[in-house]
Amino acid sequence: MTYVEHSNIDALIYLRENKSLPIVSVWAVEFAVYVSIWTTRRNTRAALKQLTGAQLADVGLTREQALSEASRVFWKA
C-alpha cells in the first residue's frame, strides 16, 4: 500500500467517525478516494511497461514481473 492509500484510509476513517456529515457525502468522498487509488494504480502499472532493464533491476523486478504487474486490472491491489 502506498503513502497515498494510507492517507486516504485515514481520511475515510475520520469521515466515518464524524457523525455530522450526511451519509451521501461520506459515500461521495469514499468513491473519490477509490477513483484516486485506481488512477494511481493504472498510471503506475502503465509506467512499468516503459522502464528499461536497468531501471527494473534497480527496483528489483524482472521484465516478466513488470509485465505481469502491468497487465493487472486497476481495481485489484
- Residue showing cell 477513483: 35
Q: Does some domain include residue 60?
A: yes
How far is residue 32's CA from residue 43's CA, in Å, rounded to a whole number?
A: 16
User: Nearest Cα to 29, choosing from 7, 8, 43?
Assistant: 8
Q: What is the mean pLDDT of residues 28-40?
A: 88
Q: Does some domain include residue 77?
A: no
Q: Does some domain include residue 75?
A: no
Number of domains in the chain: 1
Mean pLDDT of the chain: 84
Q: What is the mean pLDDT of residues 47-68?
A: 95
Q: What is the mean pLDDT of residues 9-24?
A: 75
pTM for the predicted model, two decimal places: 0.68
Q: Look at residue 53 in the predicted model and tell me its pLDDT.
A: 94
Q: Does some domain include residue 58?
A: yes
* 7: containing domain: 3-16+23-70
